[in-house]
Structure 1
Amino acid sequence: MAYLAHVTLVVPDYDAALAFYIGKLGFSLVEDTALDDAPHGKRWITIRPPGATGADAGEGATILLARAATLDQHAAIGNQTGGRVAFFLATDDFARDHAAYTAAGVEWVRAPTRAAYGIVAVFRDPFGNLWDLIERDRGERS
């Protein structure tokens, strides 16, 4: 059975991305492998949000951090979706995670709002990508 294993996120620097996603958001490092034959220290780095389960078992995708290497790739950093929210981070406790991210210095661009499907706020990562932090009402699909 096919499944989504990885989603690529283009970043300007591996270590800056790890500092934000692991250091501030609490993501887990799944893999960080140097690609010996690749130029300029290219690495295969995958991360996953806290609470996510085994992508290798087909249960969830990881984020592949890809350092921009060309002018076109650098131009896409932070704008891979043309200004739309790129990622949707589901939580089972919005207040807990919103408070933790705020304390960690996350930049909120839309305050928490109640919608028909639950509560949501939008933050921007240091590279310009927009993320929803969302807690769905019980019984709603993620």
Structure 2
Amino acid sequence: MQYIHAVSLVVPEYDAAIAFYCGQLGWQLAEDVDQGRKRWVRILPPGAQQGSLILARAEGAAQEAVIGNQFGGRVGLFLATDDFARDHAAMLAKGVIFEEEPRHEPYGTVAVWRDPFGNRWDLIQFA
């Protein structure tokens, strides 16, 4: 068996990213290990058992340049939910910016949102 354990997300600072994802959105801080010049920071959405994000602090101009554009302007991250209406309303109440109204597609209900660093996400409930 294989599965994707985690995906790195380049962010400007660890604590700002933790404050947004874990503080504002209520994600779980699974690991925060000091490694000297960097930290191993792994977070999970509420209720998730796998499929985590590694928050990676940008080091140097090349990495700083990709913050918010790691996917070339496309949606590159997909947050699946079992209740779109509940989570959409909760995210709006927490100040999350959605780029569009929810739409119904053959594969499910979806809306694009951005984190404070510019990364584009889909909130999606699969059909």
TM-score (norm 1): 0.86
CA distance in 1, matches of 2:53, 2:121: 13
Query: Equivalent residue for 1:13?
Result: 13
Deviation at 1:116, TM superposition (A): 1.0
Query: Equivalent residue for 2:72?
Result: 82
CA distance in 2, matches of 1:112, 1:33: 37
How many residue pairs end up in the alignment? 127
Instruction: State the percentage of identical aligned residues.
Output: 58
Could you tell me which of 115, 118, 121 is aligned with 1:125?
115
Deviation at 1:26, TM superposition (A): 1.5
RMSD: 1.0
Q: Deviations over 1:32-68 (max 9, x none)?
A: 01113x3xxx111000111111xxxxxx221100000
Deviation at 1:122, TM superposition (A): 0.6
CA distance in 2, matches of 1:95, 1:2: 32
After TM superposition, the structure 1 = structure 2 runs for residues 48-127 of structure 1, keeping only pairs within 5 Å, are 48-53=44-49, 60-127=50-117
- 2:57 counterpart letter in structure 1: R
Deviation at 1:3, TM superposition (A): 3.0
Query: Equivalent residue for 2:30?
Result: 30
Structure 1 unaligned blocks of 5 or more? 54-59, 138-142
CA distance in 2, matches of 1:116, 1:62: 27
Deviation at 1:31, TM superposition (A): 0.2
CA distance in 1, matches of 2:102, 2:96: 14
Larger radius of gyration: 1
Q: Deviations over 1:73-99 (max 9, x none)?
A: 000000000000011000010110001
